[in-house]
Structure 1
Amino acid sequence: MSGTAPTAAPVLPTRGRLRPLGLGEVRITDGFWAERQSVNAGASLEHIQYWLEREGWIRNFDLAVQGDLSGERRGREFSDSEVYKFLEALAWEIGRTGDAGLESRFRAVVRRVAAAQEPDGYLNTRFGRRGQAPRWSDLEWGHELYCVGHLLQAAVARARTRPGADDGLLEVARRAADNVCETFGPDGIDGLCGHPEIECALVELARTTGDDRYLAQAALFVDRRGHGRLSDVEFGREYFQDDLPVREAAVLRGHAVRANYLAAGAADVAVELKDAGLLEAVRDQWKNAVARRTYVTGGQGSRHQDEAFGGDWVLPPDRAYSETCAGVGSVMLAWRLLLAEGESRYADLIERTLFNVVSASPSADGRSFFYTNTLHRRELGTLPDADRPSLRAAASLRAPWYEVSCCPTNVARTLASLAAYVATSDDDGLQLHQYLPGTVEHRLADGRERRLSIATDFPHDGEVRVRIDSDDDQPWSLSLRVPGWAAEGATVTVAGGTRPVGPGVVTERRRWRPGDEVVLSLPMEPRFTYPDPRIDAVRGCVAVERGPVVLALESVDVAGVESVDELRVDTSKSPRLVDGRVTVCCRRVRLDDDDWPYRTNPEPARLVDERLDEVPLVAYHAWANRGPSTMRVWLSTED
């Protein structure tokens, strides 16, 4: 394997169909995602650090240096990981902007973390000290390896954005990883972590350092999974994905975050070891989960009790758990499969999940977050206490912090590194997978440059204008993704000629000159989306989408209506774009209460004599920014 890679990106496989372009090569300059990156950098990172300090999760490392945490340690067993994800977010943001203030904050936290590391490399504030349980004594729930994994990912982010930095984080991570290899290697503990995560982290550390021991350990963890090494729990071993070997499983199952993280790590191992069988197993699991266990928003996980995937077609909107972290994990997995195979369907899911799950979690000001992402709110929510962590993951409104606050840090690191999920290269050219205003600058091994400028107001507008800014005396290929939702009406214009294109990838290969343009026009008319009839919970309902954005009906947009469940959409009239907002035609119904909710004959709803034409919808990612409301994505029809 190669040594430290120059590309600043979270995933850098040494082989595969496509090669990712990193933060130094792709710049997001304006628009939807630039705004969210700005809020993330200017508000969310400071907000996260405030709560990490206030709740004592960073101070735990200071207490660890004193040697006794038994009475004073704060937070859950996995709170160390939130400090590491915060460091990773800072590393990507520093790599993106070079912000000197963030650099100072980064180094200050690293010093406190590093001081708590044991001489043999072990690093955790929850286990192993006076008054605490021994190391590795609770592999099911202790999250020790999980926390190490996030430490490694923070160090990889730092090494790739600031190669050779003298803060010491990479050395801390290597010592921790060495301890893991010594403890859990072939001659060590024959165990694994109840929460997968370290697998993909070890592979990225191997890719960064060139040390194949870390890859071998990741492969060992993947192969150990599914053989009952973890104790059975009330949710079953499926919860940990320890019920079936990775190679034998047919679909993502169990805890949705764990499932995605494990599959991501398995995909990394498969790519590096050229294990076609393992990669095929992961691909099939992804395909079946997307086809049968994924919400229209891209969200995953329909069971609250174990934060897990439900069975096939079990996708109730009002019980959607759809954890934000599962959305992040889904992006991680789909990106790895895209790099390995190059198929546009992976980028389609990334687009859907980014616009409708990841961007839905943070509030407009970046200082509160959804942990779960329901598709139907039946009752008005209540404002959470701004001075206390929320006890409930399924809070009715975004909360500033949670007792389990994995989602704010996960969103922060994803937004800070987002430019690394936009474009790729191969031996023949460049590929654009996500559309946003920005630039791409890629230098080939022989010194030639390929530079692009992208102008678009996507997702508000469907025109994507790509201009060539470099000169080259040799032909090369420029590939653009045509999303699956653009089944009809998409066109591409090159050199004055326009032709229709369908979902997939459109490629133009020629000798490009500065000023040459390719214009992709995507159909942006709002549309009704109908569910598979096997999804019982939404039979007889429709959703509305425009481009990649799922829309919702929110009660604050309908005067005199508190419950949007009283509205019925008229599907004989297509949704329209009116003054920048999508509208649908609805009417209001009310049912009489009775002593028994069942009848021998169907009885129609009693209609309120009122027609609500042109009811406006809101982008799902923007709902709940205007106070308590009721909301639904799947709208009842008039039938």
Structure 2
Amino acid sequence: MTVTSPDTTAVGGRPVVPSRGRLRPLGQDEVRVTGGFWRVRQDVNATGTIPHARSWMDRLGWTGAFTAPDAASASRRGREFTDSEVYKLLEAMSWEVGRGGAAPGALEAQIAELTAAIAAAQAPDGYLHTAFGRAGQPDRYSDMLWGHELYCTGHLLQAAVARARTCGGAEDPLLAVARRAADHVCEAFGPDGVPGVCGHPEIELGLVELARLTGEQRYLDQAALFVARRGHRTLPRHHFGWSYFSDETPVRESAVLHGHAVRALYLAAGAVDVAVETGDDELLATVAAQFDRTWARRTYLTGGMGSRHADEAFGDDFVLPADRAYSETCAGVAAIMLAWRLLLATGDGRYDEVIERILYNVVATAIGDDGRSFFYAHTLHQRTPTAALPADEEQLGFGGGPRAPWFEVSCCLANAARLLAGLSCYLVTADDTGLRVHQYVDSEIATRLADGREVGLQVRTGLPDHGGVTVRVTRTDDQPWSITLRVPRWAAGAELVTTHGRRTVPVGDIVVYRTFAVGEEIRLELPVRPRFTAPDPRIDATRGCVAVERGPLVYCAESADGADLDTVRVDASVPPVDTNAGVEVRARFAAPGPDEWPYGPPEQVTTPTGAATGLTLVPYHRWARGGPSTMRVWLPTA
């Protein structure tokens, strides 16, 4: 197995730079988000989320753990994995500087400050973790099940790669820290070292991307070794089982993703990286098949993954209870990371819709309007009204609303922050003949094709509210090239308008190949109308229910006035319609069951009473933003 020559690019960062694959990702120097739905969220991320996360990490001592003297190490504050949150925050800051967003000078100063603190905490042999190995602390690698030492190192490597690819370059101090840490990992866990794995996958991703950046072969070899070691039950037994730690079944022998959702998704993404760089098409196909089955059988309508609160895990096939949906924000981010890698490797447009669904219905839902509160888990049915939470109080519980300013485990906020700051890197790719636009976001694109020709596009859209997409050519020459657009499955009946006329186009990729002129426009008109969606009948928890979708958005019923949504019955024979307030469905409310015993004849417990009335639904990403409320996505039918 070999890596190509090192990626020495110091600007135009990309989170993933594979050496081979069907598609080449474009970076921040080539794609810029200019407005609309996602630019608003990027700006909120810059001015709200990133400084909010930094202030809480300072307040709780997570950043201070790197500067604590050895004598105070035993009193370190925070969980054993909090180093990783600082690293994810550094990665978000790096992508934000690369984006050219708010106050880059101030962010540069913070990056330098945090980098210096992290470097000072690193041991002479490269080991770096603030919860182990110092005075009064457990020994290094004494708790491979829960210690998260390699997990944290993986996030450090990803942060350093982001920094090097945006502004830092090959001589960046954070990259030097990361290389020493990676060298230590290779020495400690290489073929002649400890034959173990970390209880939480992540190191695999960081090592491969560092190998791509530096050209260092042993980083890739170590990542491949970690993937091969997984699933042989070498970690200690635990009541959650080996599956929770991605150590029950070897990657090559699994048919589906299982266990802790974030762990499983990170491992799968790392396995794809290893497969791509080593030319292991069998491993690539295996992981793709695992994800396909997971998407089809273990994923919520929103794209959320993980249905078990006890162990934050995937359930069995079709075990998807709405009111117990865990659907962690981190799992959404990890699923996008995996889908993006599979898209780049295979060119299969199915992964575009995976990313779109998760972006609009998990990532957009997670963060509060001011960027200073967030969901850890994403229920699809909130039975009891949410409650306002103090802005200065750390929360211990993860499930259910409302958005909280901070959790004891706050992995999700920094994870979403790094994705949003680098979002432009997930929108457009280049193939052998031209450009492919995967996500419709107001943006400017300027790049070179495979043959070196300069091309440029401007994308304008009203999504998710309106379905018009206009792609304008801003740079071209007198030779033909291709622009590939996507008609989502929700947009059946879409029309393509070009200088050659208007025509209805099928769902899937639409390739326009010809010699373009500067100023020429291609327009897609995507029908955005509300529609009922029924669940697979094998999903027991939602049998007899319908949901409403509109374009890429899932909708929900939200009750801020105390109405009992548990008794609602929707008339699915009357199509949902758009209104100024949202989407309206016709509904009645069933008579409550008997108080003394919640069972009885069907007509006693299910018969709707009263006249049908209009029930207004709102986008799921808007729920719990206007005060205490109950909510449900799946609505029983009359």
2:90 and 2:111 in contact (8 A); partners too: yes
Structure 2-normalised TM-score? 0.97
Find the partner of 1:516 among 504, 520, 523: 520
AA matched with 2:99 = R
How far does residue 204 in structure 1 lie from its aligned partner after superposition?
0.4
Cross-structure match for 1:599: 600
What residue number does 2:632 align with? 632
1:71 partner SS: helix
Q: 1:397 aligns with which of 368, 385, 402?
A: 402
Q: Is 1:451 aligned with 2:445?
A: no
**Residue 529 (structure 1) aligned with residue 530 (structure 2):** no
Indicate the RMSD between aligned Cα atoms, in angstroms. Answer: 1.4
The one-letter amino acid of 1:27's match is R
What residue is the counterpart of 2:27 in the other structure? 22
User: Which AA in structure 2 matches 1:452?
Assistant: L
Q: 1:35 is matched by which residue type in structure 2?
A: V
Deviations 1:87-135 (A, max 9, x none): 0000000000161111111111111111101111111000001111110
Q: Does structure 1 conserve the Cα–Cα contact (< 8 Å) formed by 2:456 and 2:474?
A: yes
What is the rounded CA distance, in whole Å, between the counterparts of 1:582 and 1:497 in structure 2?
33
Q: Which sits farther off after the overlay, 383-392 or 278-287?
A: 383-392
Alpha-carbon deviation of 1:603? 2.8
Aligned 8 A contact 1:345 1:484 in 2: no
Alpha-carbon separation, structure 2, partners of 1:596 and 1:580: 38
Deviation of 1:474 (Å): 1.5
Structure 1 residue identity aligned to 2:636: S
Which residues of 2 match residues 210-289 of structure 1 at below 5 A?
210-289=215-294
Partner of 2:502: 498
Alignment match, 1:77: 80
How many Å apart are 1:499 and its aligned residue?
1.8
Secondary structure of the structure 2 residue equivalent to 1:227: coil
> Aligned partners of 1:159 and 1:140: how far apart in 2?
31
In the TM superposition, residue 482 of structure 1 has moved relative to its aligned partner by 1.3
Letter of the 2:197 partner, please give it: L
Displacement of 1:471 after TM fit?
Answer: 2.4
Counterpart contact for 1:464–1:520, Cα < 8 Å: yes
Number of the residue aligned with 1:386: 391
State the secondary structure of the residue aligned to 1:51. helix
- Alpha-carbon distance in structure 1 between the residues aligned to 2:157 and 2:207: 7
Q: Gaps (5+ residues) in structure 1? A: none
- Structure 2 counterpart SS, 1:452: strand
Alignment of 1:35-114 (within 5 A): 35-63=40-68, 66-97=69-100, 99-114=104-119
Within 5 A, what are the aligned runs for 1:545-564? Answer: 545-556=549-560, 561-564=562-565
Would the aligned equivalents of 1:591 and 1:606 in 2 still touch at CA under 8 Å? no
Partner Cα distance (2:519, 2:90) in 1: 40
Matched residue count: 631
Structure 1 position 610, deviation (Å):
4.2
Residue type at the aligned position of 2:81: F
The answer to whether the 8 Å contact 1:298/1:352 transfers is: yes
TM-fit CA distance, 1:484: 2.0
CA shift for structure 1 position 62 = 0.7
Aligned partner of residue 219 in structure 1, secondary structure? helix
Instruction: Give per-residue Cα distances to partners, 1:294-336, cap 9 Å, x unaligned.
Output: 0000000000000000000000000000000000000000000
- Does the C-alpha gap of structure 1 residues 71 and 388 become closer, same or farther in structure 2, counting only changes over 3 Å? farther
Matched residue SS, 2:199: coil
CA distance in 1 between partners of 2:607 and 2:24 (Å): 59
Report what 1:481 is aligned to: 486
Q: CA deviation at 1:383?
A: 2.0
Counterpart check, 1:145 vs 2:146: no
Contact 1:325 1:406 in 2 (8 A): yes
Please point out which of 524, 542, 545 is paired with 2:546. 542
Amino acid at match of 2:526: L
Q: Which position in structure 1 is the counterpart of 2:305?
A: 300
1:414 match: secondary structure:
helix
Matched to 1:510, the amino acid is R
- Matched position secondary structure for 2:628: coil
Distance across 2 between alignment mates of 1:580 and 1:443 = 44
Q: CA deviation at 1:445?
A: 5.9
Residue of 27, 31, 37 corresponding to 2:36: 31
Structure 2 residue matching 1:588: 3-state secondary structure = strand
How far apart are 1:5 and its partner, in Å? 4.7
Structure 2 gaps of 5+ residues are none
1:111-150 map, 5 Å: 111-150=116-155
Give, in whole Å, the separation in 2 of the partners of 1:322 and 1:253: 14
The SS at the match of 2:548 is strand
Taking the aligned partners of 2:61 and 2:299, their CA distance within structure 1 comes to: 36
Deviation of 1:69 (Å): 4.0
- 2:583 aligned residue: 582
Distance in 1 (alpha carbons) for counterparts of 2:157 and 2:563 = 48
Query: Could you tell me which residue of structure 2 aligns to residue 191 of structure 1?
Result: 196
3-state SS of the aligned residue for 1:37? helix
| Rounded Cα–Cα distance in structure 2 between residues aligned with 1:535 and 1:497 | 44
- Cα distance, 1:235 vs structure 2: 1.2
TM-score, scaled to structure 1? 0.97
Distance 2:580 2:548 in 1: 17
In 2, the alpha carbon distance for the partners of 1:174 and 1:93 equals 23
Per-residue CA deviations over 1:225-281 (Å, capped at 9, x if unaligned) read: 011111121011111121111001000000000000000000000001010110011
Compute the displacement of 1:604 (Å): 4.9
Q: Distance in 1 between matches of 2:609 and 2:71?
A: 67
Counterpart contact for 2:211–2:219, Cα < 8 Å: yes
**Cα shift at 1:626:** 0.7
What amino acid maps onto 1:632 in structure 2? R
Mapped to 2, the partners of 1:565 and 1:439 lie a distance apart of 46
Q: Which residue of 2 aligns with 1:439?
A: 444
Amino acid at match of 2:549: E
Please give the alpha-carbon distance, in whole angstroms, between the structure 2 residues aligned to 1:413 and 1:471: 33
8 Å Cα contact 1:574-1:584 kept in structure 2: yes
State the AA in 2 paired with 1:483. P
Cα deviation, residue 579, structure 1: 2.1
- The 2-side partners of 1:18 and 1:5 are apart by 20
- CA offset digits 1:375-425 (Å, max 9, x no partner): 000011222232221000114211000100000000100100000000000
Q: Which AA in structure 2 matches 1:530?
A: A
Query: Which of 369, 376, 385 lines up with 2:381 in the alignment?
Result: 376
- Hey, what does 1:418 align to over in structure 2? 423
CA distance in 1, matches of 2:559, 2:83: 40
145, 158, 166: which one pairs with 2:163? Answer: 158
For the residues of structure 1 that align with 2:209 and 2:126, how far apart are their CA atoms?
19
> What residue is the counterpart of 1:507 in the other structure?
511
TM-superposed deviation, 1:566? 2.4
Which residue number corresponds to residue 616 of structure 1?
Answer: 616
* 2: CA distance, partners of 1:607 / 1:532: 25
Alpha-carbon deviation of 1:211?
0.6
**Is the CA contact (8 Å cut-off) linking 2:593 and 2:604 kept in structure 1?**
no
Q: SS at the partner of 1:94? A: helix
Measured after TM superposition, the shift of residue 582 of structure 1 is: 1.4
> In structure 1, what is the equivalent of residue 475 of structure 2?
470
With over 3 angstroms needed to count, the CA separation of the structure-2 counterparts of 1:5 and 1:491, relative to structure 1, is farther
Distance 2:203 2:379 in 1: 29
Residues 1:610 and 1:172: Cα distance change in structure 2 (over 3 Å): same
CA contact (8 A) 1:468 1:516 kept: yes
Report how far residue 198 of structure 1 moved. 0.8
Q: Is the 8 A contact 2:593 2:599 kept in 1?
A: no
The alignment partner of 2:578 has SS state of: strand
> Residues 581-635 of structure 1: CA distance to partner in whole angstroms, max 9, x if unpaired?
211111222314242223366535454434322x221110110001110000001
